[in-house]
Chains A and B, each alone.
Chain A
Amino acid sequence: MRFLFYLPLSLIFSLFSLLALTACAADLEAFQRASARARIGQFFDRNAVGASSESKHTNNWAVLVCSSRYWFNYRHMSNTLGMYRTVKRLGIPDSNIILMLADDAACNPRNRFPGCVYADAGRHLDLYGENIEVDYRGYEVTVENLLRVLTGRVEPSVPRSKRLLSDDRSNIFVYMTGHGGNEFLKFQDNEEMSTFDVADAFEQMWQKKRYNEMFFMVDTCQAKSMYSKLYSPNILATGSSQVGENSYSYENDMDVGVAVIDGFTHFTLEFMENINKTSATNMQEFANKIRSHADVRSDLFHRPLDRTLITDFFGGVAHAEVIESPITTSVTTVSVESIAPEELGLREPVADLLINVSAAADDVEDHYAHFGGKQQDGWAIVAGLVGYVVMRERRQ
């Protein structure tokens, strides 16, 4: 029975060593946590996009429209696809991009490279690829559908992927390409959208708080006329040509057989190749880059261009903030009257939202109280059982 004598001693010793191990483990953990916090802080300070951007947007949308069909308008489709790839690369997800292609160049029987759309002579980069989501295709690209998408007045049966679900904190990039004239854009070779329609649609969007800022880019003939009649605030517009002037394609590819890209879009994409998600390049540099007779209209835009980042419109960059203090999951009831909607920066009443929160809080309180009460009883029972077994052992 000697082991019975050593048993309490060994218990005490093992308890002590366990405590020592626990202390070491806790110390190690605290050290790791502190160094991790320092490293996170350095990371965000180094890449502080949020610090240099003054825009108040929280999400980005892109509406990319190619309005002309037929094989010889290949370049309009590759224009749009080039823009699509750019905004996707810079972080806007497919769910926030409305891509409208009036014709299918990739699967056209005249395409020598089926499934591929190229934007340069030499065919170095396939813009169609495998990861593409075209929302409006073929004959769905009409003036009515575009205006419905922009204003949000869509049929109930229209799926979410075909809706522009922007809010008052969205920055929207609208890009249109095709054949245009003085104050109109030709759709599908059988109808036109006038610049007044576009201006009114944008004003409806402003009235319905569907955008924070908008960047409107047009690559057609006489592009400036397309945005000449805009009158809503916070819109930055650019076009490829002046009124009365044509826009020209940039280059042809000999094997595809048609022109593969337009000049304005080509130079824009070339400029964009040097931009990535953390880029701090501003819109003024972009405006400076546009040579020839392209034009930028910034009188409706409230911020100076040299303090507006490219990624405010082209990228889907999220701003993150490192919070120093740990967040505790405590349950508090929220009183509706004490918070005024203006304080929260919302324009709608918050009463309905907050009532639901406080109701849920009560449920959790009850559950919490009920759950936490009897743990000790349970563990006491198990300990008692162990003690009983040990006692019976020792009696034998």
Chain B
Amino acid sequence: MSAGRWTLLYIVAARLLLALSLIGESLKEDHQLASPLNAYPRLREGTYLFNHGISPYSGGTFRHSPLFLPFFSWLPDSPYLNASLWTLVDCISAWALVSIWNARSGGVRSRGVLLASMYLINPYLFLPSLATSTASFDNALLLLAIKFACERRTPPCLFSLAFASQLSLPSILLLPPILLLLLSDAKSHLASPKSFSTSYSAVAPVVLEFFAYFATLTGAATIATGGWSWAANTWGAGLILPDLTPNPGLWWYFFTEMFDHFRPFFLMVFSMHLLIYVAPVCIKFQHDPLYATFILVGLIAMFKPYPTLADAGLFLTMFTLFPETYRYLRYPIVTALLHLHAFLLLPLFHHLWVGAGTGNANFFYASSLVFGVANGGAILDAIWAGLRIAVGEVGEDYAVMQE
């Protein structure tokens, strides 16, 4: 086995040992790592109610999709089992990431180990996995969907995307770029943009197939729980924001201090805000849909209602798929330091607020604003670099600027 493979094995073994050491037991309810849609204790509460014949959505704490229920009500609640399962899910995600790279680069294998290890050791990704938050499942399904799209395997791609959308509704916004990806290829066209052309007859069956899978899964969930209450509690949670548990996102603080009169308006504004990014990004990067997917993943991670660190972690790890952009990033160090700053401040201010009682919510929200600026800076830099490549080399006397 090559050195790279050994490295990967060590990393996986270290991850597994760290998870089996049950260091994550105290992290299960951590607000940065697990949101109300993701937290493991809530999942267990839902399966408990489910096993005793009570609707799991009657309690108000369980906001996971009903599709989690059969597997987790069968699985015993053993921390060792969870550790192994979550490490396995992360390994699947890393494998999917490497497959995406292979499809994009056409077989330059030497970087595969780097990508896999970037996924496995990214603290934004392995901490939620230690905390057994189901954000790891969301990431895995997204990466699988992108992988199958890069390999132009339509049914698994659309099924994974439909499943991912069932678990976390904002993921449905990735349908347009993944559609573009399915209809073109994953190879890097950033340097040579050309407009995307296809016919409706190619697009329509794919879209219909996605919505067929989505509808089937929705129907299965409805039949299984015997009603539509699950939709209001899972997808509705992202639209109505009933649960204002702190998270590293931008929504919760706004809505804690908002008067009820304005609440519907601002809920609409925040949801529309997510929607408006899809079309422009897909149009601008129609020549390289994988890059459009990447940008949208970052935007969703930043602006979704209940984010965790895992969403931003996925975006940052996907940077490794685009090494051609590295020389055109204008301020990578600033972004990296902002992320480091936010990563250190978020738990610190959370503890000051909730643990020690000497701070207040403003401290924590300020650190999540730093996190947002870090994410925003990364997205903006990625957009710049992606577009800048097309300009190519410029002479000494010239500089590329944005008007």
Q: Which residues of A contact B (CB under 8 A)?
A: 21-22, 24-26, 28-29, 329, 367-368, 370-375, 377-379, 381-382, 385-386, 388-389, 392-393, 396
Distance in Å: Cβ of A229 to nearest Cβ of chain B: 52
In the complex, which residues of chain B have a beta carbon less than 8 angstroms from the beta carbon of A368?
53-54
Distance between Cα atoms of A289 and B155 in the complex (Å): 86
Q: List 21 A-B contacts (CB under 8 A).
A: A22-B75, A22-B78, A25-B78, A25-B80, A26-B78, A370-B226, A371-B55, A373-B226, A374-B223, A375-B224, A377-B223, A377-B224, A378-B221, A378-B222, A378-B224, A379-B220, A381-B223, A382-B217, A385-B159, A385-B217, A389-B155
Distance between Cα atoms of A21 and B216 in the complex (Å): 33
Distance between Cα atoms of A368 and B76 in the complex (Å): 23
B219 contacts A by Cβ under 8 Å: yes
Distance in Å: Cβ of B302 to nearest Cβ of chain A: 31
- Nearest CB in chain A to that of B79: its residue: A25
Distance in Å: Cβ of B96 to nearest Cβ of chain A: 15
Given A29-B78, A375-B224; 5 other pairs, CB 8 A cutoff: A28-B78, A368-B54, A378-B222, A385-B213, A389-B155
Q: Would you call B78 and A393 a contact (CB within 8 A)?
A: no
B225 contacts A by Cβ under 8 Å: yes
Overall SS of chain B's interface: helix
Q: Which residues of B contact A (CB under 8 A)?
A: 52-55, 66-67, 70, 75-78, 80-81, 84, 153, 155-156, 159, 213, 216-217, 219-226
- Nearest CB in chain A to that of B222: its residue: A378
Contact with A381, one of B53, B76, B220, B226 (Cβ below 8 angstroms): B220
Distance in Å: Cβ of A212 to nearest Cβ of chain B: 37
Q: Would you call B67 and A374 a contact (CB within 8 A)?
A: no
Distance between Cα atoms of A378 and B53 in the complex (Å): 15
Distance between Cα atoms of A382 and B65 in the complex (Å): 13
- Nearest CB in chain A to that of B74: its residue: A22
In the complex, which residues of chain B have a beta carbon less than 8 angstroms from the beta carbon of A329?
52
Q: Would you call A396 and B153 a contact (CB within 8 A)?
A: yes
Distance between Cα atoms of A373 and B52 in the complex (Å): 13
Q: Would you call A374 and B76 a contact (CB within 8 A)?
A: no
Contact with A386, one of B55, B77, B159, B225 (Cβ below 8 angstroms): B159
In the complex, which residues of chain B have a beta carbon less than 8 angstroms from the beta carbon of A378?
66, 220-225
- Nearest CB in chain B to that of A364: its residue: B54
A385/B220 contact (C-beta < 8 A), A26-B76, A329-B52, A367-B54 known:
yes
- Nearest CB in chain B to that of A391: its residue: B155
In the complex, which residues of chain A have a beta carbon less than 8 angstroms from the beta carbon of B219?
381
Q: Would you call B225 and A389 a contact (CB within 8 A)?
A: no
In the complex, which residues of chain B have a beta carbon less than 8 angstroms from the beta carbon of A28?
78, 80
Q: Would you call A371 and B70 a contact (CB within 8 A)?
A: no
Distance in Å: Cβ of B214 to nearest Cβ of chain A: 11
Distance between Cα atoms of A26 and B76 in the complex (Å): 7
Q: Would you call A389 and B224 a contact (CB within 8 A)?
A: no
A379/B78 contact (C-beta < 8 A), A371-B54, A389-B155 known:
no
Q: Would you call A372 and B156 a contact (CB within 8 A)?
A: no
In the complex, which residues of chain A have a beta carbon less than 8 angstroms from the beta carbon of B159?
385-386, 389
In the complex, which residues of chain B have a beta carbon less than 8 angstroms from the beta carbon of A385?
159, 213, 216-217, 220
Q: Would you call B81 and A21 a contact (CB within 8 A)?
A: yes
Distance between Cα atoms of A377 and B226 in the complex (Å): 10
Distance between Cα atoms of A2 and B70 in the complex (Å): 32
In the complex, which residues of chain A have a beta carbon less than 8 angstroms from the beta carbon of B216?
381, 385
Distance in Å: Cβ of A299 to nearest Cβ of chain B: 52
Q: Would you call B76 and A371 a contact (CB within 8 A)?
A: no
Give the 4 A-B CB pairs with smallest separation, nearest first: A378-B224, A25-B78, A381-B220, A378-B223
- Nearest CB in chain A to that of B76: its residue: A25
Q: Would you call A374 and B226 a contact (CB within 8 A)?
A: yes
Distance in Å: Cβ of A372 to nearest Cβ of chain B: 5
Distance between Cα atoms of A362 and B78 in the complex (Å): 35
Distance between Cα atoms of A242 and B77 in the complex (Å): 67
Distance between Cα atoms of A381 and B156 in the complex (Å): 16
Distance between Cα atoms of A382 and B66 in the complex (Å): 11
Distance in Å: Cβ of A264 to nearest Cβ of chain B: 41
- Nearest CB in chain B to that of A328: its residue: B52
In the complex, which residues of chain B have a beta carbon less than 8 angstroms from the beta carbon of A388?
155
Distance between Cα atoms of A374 and B75 in the complex (Å): 20
Q: Would you call B76 and A379 a contact (CB within 8 A)?
A: no
- Nearest CB in chain A to that of B80: its residue: A25
In the complex, which residues of chain B have a beta carbon less than 8 angstroms from the beta carbon of A22?
75-76, 78, 81
Interface centre among A28, A381, A396 (most CB of B within 10 A): A381
Q: Would you call A21 and B84 a contact (CB within 8 A)?
A: yes
Distance between Cα atoms of A389 and B159 in the complex (Å): 7
Q: Would you call A392 and B224 a contact (CB within 8 A)?
A: no
In the complex, which residues of chain A have a beta carbon less than 8 angstroms from the beta carbon of B52?
329
Distance between Cα atoms of A26 and B84 in the complex (Å): 15
Distance between Cα atoms of A377 and B52 in the complex (Å): 18
- Nearest CB in chain A to that of B55: its residue: A371
Distance between Cα atoms of A317 and B180 in the complex (Å): 69
Contact with B81, one of A25, A372, A392 (Cβ below 8 angstroms): A25
In the complex, which residues of chain A have a beta carbon less than 8 angstroms from the beta carbon of B156?
389, 393
Distance in Å: Cβ of A145 to nearest Cβ of chain B: 37
Distance between Cα atoms of A379 and B55 in the complex (Å): 16
Distance between Cα atoms of A392 and B78 in the complex (Å): 36
Distance between Cα atoms of A393 and B152 in the complex (Å): 11
In the complex, which residues of chain A have a beta carbon less than 8 angstroms from the beta carbon of B55?
367, 371
In the complex, which residues of chain B have a beta carbon less than 8 angstroms from the beta carbon of A375?
70, 224
In the complex, which residues of chain B have a beta carbon less than 8 angstroms from the beta carbon of A377?
223-224
Distance between Cα atoms of A36 and B225 in the complex (Å): 35
A379/B53 contact (C-beta < 8 A), A25-B78, A396-B153 known:
no
